[in-house]
């Protein structure tokens, strides 16, 4: 099935129109007409081969919402016309301990990414949501609840799932004292989720200009990381710290903020961690951990929670032909807080 798309053909090519082939339906497949696709930093890094493993041509996009067009003979959960979503993982081994416990993202054999991956059956390259349509196996398709805006739901499939999963895993809820480091695409959702789960939420930022924004998002308090006196006064104030900073940084100042048995969870930085004195961990049984995106069951739970509690990301909707400018703005942190492409603006193949 020839399908209109936008993708990169080289590290310096930018994102431009392409025509890709979507496979004919297998028995378990769901064909989806894409209505919206969120723009993730991973899209930019993959398009430019910043991580050194991009296979060109590549069509980014793994925050996908759309409407079912057709289903394979064995599909039982979805029918044409259903509102659905696709996140970062579109297949896995389905048999390992991680997969059978709903943690497909941690598949011991390795999951199949929505883009820049290889189909487990025919070896063809997977291509993402900067396209008119996508075909995905039923177990990896999510339902978008009625009433949840399709554009706003898109960033939930990566940014939302990445912040929701650790909050749930570490049982954040009423009585939990939570700090969220960094007010961006991940951080603003971390604040909204933690608040909706009943926690007392503090936003930690280095920018005084973000104080008002953090309060509008629902933060109970704001702590300036640049204010040394305030940081000292906040020592042992938190049970859980969600670190959404996307670049290499020193986590030591934030470990002082953890109370006994507290946990700092890294969800933004994919890099070497600076040297860390273990006394910061031993002096209070503190832990430093990390978390990736959520699995399928947890992501569906998040979508249902967002619909029930009216929790949505702050978005800016763009046309498909604005994507390269959007990438430039992302690098300047000039977005509050996620771009979403209206795929109705995608020209036909």
pLDDT digits (tens, 9 = 90+) for 212-268: 999 999 999 999 999 999 999 999 999 999 999 998 899 999 999 999 999 999 999
User: Given pLDDT bands bounded at 50, 70 and 90, which one contains residue 107?
Assistant: very high
For residue 83, give the DSSP letter.
Answer: E
> Residue 8 in 3-state DSSP?
strand
Other CB atoms within 10 A of residue 81 CB = 8
For all residues of the chain together, what is the average pLDDT?
A: 96
* Helical packing angle, 296-309 and 159-169, nearest 10°: 100
Residue 110 falls in which region: left (phi positive, over 0), alpha (psi -120 to 50) or beta: left
User: Given pLDDT bands bounded at 50, 70 and 90, which one contains residue 291?
Assistant: very high
CA-wise closest residue to 194 among 169, 216, 212, 176: 176
**Whole-Å CA distances, 101 to 56, 90, 94, 97, 107:** 33, 16, 10, 6, 10
Does the predicted model carry a pTM greater than 0.85?
yes
Query: Radius of gyration over alpha carbons of the chain, in Å?
Result: 20
Report d(CA 317, CA 131) in Å as an integer.
16
Residue 324 falls in which region: left (phi positive, over 0), alpha (psi -120 to 50) or beta: alpha
| Residue pLDDT, tens place only, 174-216 | 999 999 999 999 999 999 999 999 999 999 998 888 899 999 9
Other CB atoms within 10 A of residue 36 CB = 25
* Apex 151 CA angle, 181 and 49, nearest 5: 60
The answer to whether 47 touches 15, Cβ cutoff 8 Å, is: yes
Report d(CA 252, CA 277) in Å as an integer.
8
Report d(CA 135, CA 120) in Å as an integer.
14
Pairing of β 177-181 and β 200-205: parallel
The answer to whether 47 touches 153, Cβ cutoff 8 Å, is: no
Main-chain phi, psi angles of 281, to 5 degrees: -90, -45
């Amino acid at each position: 099935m020839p399908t209109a798309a936008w993708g990169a053909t080289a590290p310096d090519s930018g994102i431009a129109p392409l025509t890709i082939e979507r496979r004919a339906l297998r028995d378990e497949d769901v064909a989806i007409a894409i209505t919206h696709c969120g723009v993730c930093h991973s899209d930019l890094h993959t398009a430019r081969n910043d991580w050194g493993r991009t296979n060109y041509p590549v069509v980014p996009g793994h925050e996908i919402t759309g409407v079912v067009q057709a289903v394979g003979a064995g599909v039982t959960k979805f029918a044409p016309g259903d509102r659905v979503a696709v996140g970062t993982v579109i297949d896995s081994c389905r048999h390992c301990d991680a997969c059978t416990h709903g943690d497909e993202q941690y598949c011991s054999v390795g999951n199949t990414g929505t883009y820049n991956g290889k189909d487990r059956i025919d070896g063809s390259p997977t291509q993402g949501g900067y396209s008119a349509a996508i075909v995905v196996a039923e177990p990896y398709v999510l339902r978008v609840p009625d009433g949840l805006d399709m554009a706003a739901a898109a960033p939930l499939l990566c940014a939302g799932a990445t912040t929701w999963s650790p909050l749930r895993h570490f049982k954040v809820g009423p009585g939990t004292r939570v700090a969220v480091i960094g007010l961006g695409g991940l951080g603003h959702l971390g604040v909204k989720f933690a608040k909706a789960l009943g926690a007392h939420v503090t936003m930690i930022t280095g920018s005084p200009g973000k104080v008002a924004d953090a309060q509008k998002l629902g933060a109970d308090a704001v702590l300036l990381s640049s204010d040394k006196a305030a940081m000292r006064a906040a020592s042992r104030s938190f049970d859980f710290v969600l670190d959404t900073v996307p670049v290499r940084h020193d986590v030591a100042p934030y470990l002082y903020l953890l109370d006994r048995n507290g946990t700092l969870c890294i969800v933004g930085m994919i890099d070497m961690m600076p040297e860390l004195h273990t006394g910061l961990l031993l002096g209070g049984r503190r832990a430093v951990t990390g978390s990736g995106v959520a699995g399928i069951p947890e992501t569906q739970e998040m979508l249902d929670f967002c619909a029930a509690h009216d929790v949505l990301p702050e978005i800016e909707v763009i046309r498909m032909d604005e994507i390269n400018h959007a990438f430039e703005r992302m690098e300047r942190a000039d977005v509050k807080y996620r771009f979403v492409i209206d795929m109705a603006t995608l020209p036909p193949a």
